[in-house]
Amino acid sequence: MRKIIHFLVACFGWKIDLNRPTHIKKGVVVMAPHTSNWDFVLGRLAFYTMGIKGRYIMKKEIFIFPLNIFLKALGAIPVDRHKNNNMVKQVATLFEKTDSLFVVFTPEGTRDFNPNWRKGFYYIAQEARVPILLSYIDFSTKTCGFHSLFEPTGNIDHDIQKIKEILSPYKGRFPEKGIIL
């Protein structure tokens, strides 16, 4: 099935970079830029092709029947963004309970331009003691995949700026909504 999906993605002119850190079994995945609903579709197909079972934090408002069944089957985790529900602890607990887990975050938190990235992914990685993996979707080259492993320094503002710099060459479907330094 993976080869079939890889072939179908290629038919649409996309390339999935299959290089990934295979020695890592758990991690927070930061995906940017996030400018389109297609980001989820392409990212999900890429993960499936790589044999990675990713989980995704999504706003609870879209978890309506029957879409909720489909989203949960794809690994989506509903979150109420308007309540203080200690999401950091909840996701860190998920990491503790499993041998292999990748939770994907789009730190922009929206498909519109947002210079102020959400920091939850960083706090979750610290709390769960898991690495941060940087990934991308680039509509200009029709390529998606993992970029690199990111080692946090503890200086969150500096680190987020560094992550933005690393991922800024990649262009979303709507480049004007992507990363602007």
| Tens of each residue's pLDDT in the chain, 181 residues | 778 888 888 888 999 998 888 889 999 999 999 889 888 888 888 888 888 888 987 888 999 999 999 888 888 888 776 767 688 888 899 999 999 999 999 888 777 777 789 899 999 999 999 999 999 999 999 999 999 999 999 999 999 999 999 999 999 999 888 887 6
| Angstrom distances, CA of residue 130 to CA of 107, 140, 141 | 17, 31, 30
Determine if the peptide bond prior to 169 is cis (ω within 30°): no
Domains and CATH numbers, the chain: 2-177 (3.40.50)
Q: Considering only CA atoms, which of 66, 63, 29, 44 is closest in space to residue 147? A: 29
Quote the pLDDT of residue 83: 66
Do residues 151 and 27 touch, judged by C-beta distance below 8 A? Answer: no
Between CA 77 and CA 63 the distance in angstroms is 9
